[in-house]
Amino acid sequence: MKLQPITPNLWFDGNAEEAANFYVSIFPNSRIVRKTKVPAALSKEIGAKPGSVLMVEFELNGQPFLGLNGGPAFKFNEAVSFMVHCKDQEEVDHYWKKLTAGGSEQPCGWAKDKFGLSWQIDPAEWMEMVTSNDEEKVVRGMKAMLQMKKMDLAKLKAAYNGTDN
């Protein structure tokens, strides 16, 4: 894999390989590209077992990522998340179920996976709705979204169009 000029680098506490395998199992057009092991000569300096996985390069739907087993110093938080734009409700349901397994459902279409990484699972039509020039429709749609955890496209459309009564 040729790393792109900007590649997300995710810091894990010893479970980068497990996380990469989990993500690859969820997204189409995904694969593990390469694993880099900890060289014995550096293991003491970096506090890792010789031969254990230090980095794993992987692709999710063609997008390159790097997982680094950096240790317990840093944890994921909601300041960084990955958006998954879904073609329909079925796809929203699929990603929501997979990514919240062992994790948690968050408000407004946000999901936290079992590794603590945040994802925004939204129907692609949602971006069209919230970027509309019709402020009344946007407000109705946003008010409906604020009441949801997993996004419900039918309810969002109804609220946006003013037919949800």
User: What is the predicted pLDDT for the residue at 42?
Assistant: 85
Q: Are 67 and 20 in contact (CB under 8 A)?
A: yes
Q: Which of 53, 46, 52, 60 is nearest to 7 (CA)?
A: 60
Does 165 have pLDDT greater than 90?
no
Does 131 have pLDDT greater than 80?
yes
Does 155 have pLDDT greater than 70?
yes
Q: Tell me the domains of the chain and their CATH numbers.
A: 9-69 (3.10.180.10), 81-161 (3.10.180.10)
User: What is the predicted pLDDT for the residue at 88?
Assistant: 96
Selected residue with higher pLDDT from 64 and 46? 64
Q: DSSP state, 38?
A: P
* Long-range contact set of residues 126-131: C-beta below 8 Å, sequence gap at least 24: 126/151, 126/153, 126/156, 127/85, 129/156, 129/157, 129/160
Q: Which of 117, 119, 114, 103 is nearest to 151 (CA)?
A: 119
User: What is the predicted pLDDT for the residue at 47?
Assistant: 81
Task: Using pLDDT thresholds of 50, 70 and 90, give the confidence band for residue 147.
Answer: very high
Mean pLDDT score of the chain, rounded to an integer?
94
Q: What's at 64, amino acid-wise?
A: P
User: What is the predicted pLDDT for the residue at 144?
Assistant: 96
User: What is the predicted pLDDT for the residue at 19?
Assistant: 98
pTM (predicted TM-score): 0.91
Task: Using pLDDT thresholds of 50, 70 and 90, give the confidence band for residue 3.
Answer: low
